[in-house]
Amino acid sequence: METTLIILKPDAVQRGLMGRIISRFEDKGLQVVGCKLMKISQELAAEHYKDHAGKPFYDGLVRFMTGAPVLVMAVRGIGAIAISRSMMGATFGSKAAGGTIRGDFGVSNSFNLIHGSDSPEAAQRELGLFFKDGEVLDYERAMSQWVYDYSSGSPE
């Protein structure tokens, strides 16, 4: 099972889309194993986006991400990273396909609603930035047997 970081950005929170977006992950069969509403500090934003430092959009991105609350989630499932990124859609809402989160809810190329880790390495680093030890939980869901085929003894 993979665990990935998902951030519902300030525009998603301010537009009241949190519940609808969380439902999409749960409806897909992914498990929310950590979740908190928070305000990102300048320091945390700088660390999270350090690979973009010096790029023309960096200052605006940090200002945007620190300007209002975000919802951070740890989401788990087989292939959770690729599945989540597919669900999110193309980076720019104006180019994202219908049926994706950005395609259904976004039109802006700056305000793109959601962030998801793009690799297992990024997920591990990002989860460590946003969640303390013990805040990402391991728990069994009764419905897991209906999400994954366990007939071989382990989930497909």
Which residues are part of the catalytic machinery?
115
Cα separation, 22 vs 89, whole angstroms: 15
Phi–psi pair at 114, nearest 5 degrees: -150, 145
Q: How far is CA 88 from CA 83, 124, 134, 138, 140, in A?
A: 9, 19, 27, 24, 26
Encoded amino acid at 117, one letter: S
Q: 134: which 2 tokens?
A: 């013990």
Tokens (6 digits) for 65? 């991400």
